[in-house]
Amino acid sequence: MIRTISKHHKLVLLAALLIAAGSIFYILAVKKPATPANTLHYTTFKTEHGWGYDILVNDRIVIHQPMLPGQSGYKGFPTEQEAGADAQNVIESIKSGTHPFFGQKQLQRPGVLRAQPK
């Protein structure tokens, strides 16, 4: 005995196939690719007093550092590389779960500033 699929079952099967095709299309073509949560990075910028940096989480500024921390007056980092090195050290501190310390001792980290004679 040969059974045929009823009209009702054909409609249910067609609806299921359309939903599956639509879901696959959405996932592959429409949905933006997933990015790692809390992407932490920095950008450097030139100021009239030297160089500074911003620390960003998912392209949102969380730290704006236009000057040398722990210094009197308004003086930026002498070079873009030194600003970037300090920003990278701050990012490493944040990733390790420690509070980034801003001050003269912190500026003497490798790659930031040489120790200043007293």
Q: For residue range 92-118, what is the model confidence (pLDDT) as tens digits?
A: 988 888 776 655 555 444 445 444 444
According to the model, what pLDDT value does residue 37 have?
59
Side chain identity at residue 92, one-letter code:
E
Segment 26-64, tens digit of pLDDT: 677 765 555 555 688 999 999 999 999 999 988 899 999
C-alpha atoms less than 13 angstroms from C-alpha of 35 in its C-beta half-sphere: 7
pLDDT at 23: 76
Predicted TM-score of the model (pTM): 0.56
**Range 21-30, long-range pairs (CB < 8 A, 24+ positions):** none
Q: How far is the C-alpha of 34 from the C-alpha of 41, rounded, in Å? A: 17
